[in-house]
Every structure is written in C-alpha cells, then in structure tokens.
Amino acid sequence: MLPKNNRISRVEFSGAVFQGKRHHSPIFTLYITKTSNPKDKKFAFSVSKKVCKGAVGRNKLRRQGYSVLKTKIDSIKEGFLYLFVYKKTQKLPNHKEIEQDIISLLTSAFVLV
C-alpha cells in the first residue's frame, strides 16, 4: 500500500472523476487531474461491485494495482492525481496483466518519465 500522502482523499476523488482527462485500456479507465501542489503525486484505485462481487476480490485487485505503482512511483510525473477505475471484463486480470496495462496507460498518457 502506498503512504497516505500518496493516496487520493474522498474530497479529491469526485473532482478527479468530473474534471479529469480520461485514458482507456482493456482493464482500466485512467482519470488524470492537475493538483494545486506541483510536488504532489496521488493515486487511487476504484473497483465496483459490477467488476467483482466479493469485497475480498475487490481489495485484492486494489492491492495489486498499488503494488505495481509502488515500484514505478519514482518514474511518474508530479503534480497530478491518478485515478484508476477497473472495467468489467470477462475474467479477472492477473498481476502481470494489471502491471502491463498500468504501464501502457501511463506511457500513452505521457506521464511516465
């Protein structure tokens, strides 16, 4: 899990959804919004009940996403909020698919340095 200062708060969450620029991939929709502080990098993962019925499965998907970001956090641009929303797919993605999708999304959004 990322430290608290690197996670999006509930107040910032709705702003990220409504004001954020969207980028799509097979597993995620990524919302990127500028922050007021140019040194901030904040992240969040959202998994709805439509994606995974059980809380254990939803939390597992969130933790897998955060673990990928933990290894890549130094190479991501500062000054933005990054909200990853899981899409409903035929089968739940494994860790390797999640990692590849996150990297490709961040690269296509030009925020991976």
Pairing relation of β-strands 28-34 and 41-46? Answer: unpaired
Whether 35 is covered by a domain: the verdict is yes
Whether 41 is covered by a domain: the verdict is yes
> Looking at residue 12, what is its pLDDT?
85
Q: What is the model's pTM?
A: 0.92
Question: Tell me, what CATH number does 94's domain have?
Answer: 3.30.230.10
Whether 10 is covered by a domain: the verdict is yes
Whether 113 is covered by a domain: the verdict is no
Cβ atoms 106, 41 nearer than 8 A? no
15 pLDDT exceeds 90?
no
> Looking at residue 44, what is its pLDDT?
94
Whether 53 is covered by a domain: the verdict is yes
Whether 8 is covered by a domain: the verdict is yes
Percent with pLDDT over 70 in the chain: 100
Whether 80 is covered by a domain: the verdict is yes
- Domain count within the chain: 1
Whether 79 is covered by a domain: the verdict is yes
Give the model confidence (pLDDT) of 21-74 as tens digits.
999 999 999 999 998 889 989 999 999 999 999 999 999 999 999 999 999 999
Give the rounded distance of the alpha carbon of 8 from its chain centre: 10
Residue-range definition of the domain harbouring residue 45: 4-108
> Looking at residue 24, what is its pLDDT?
95
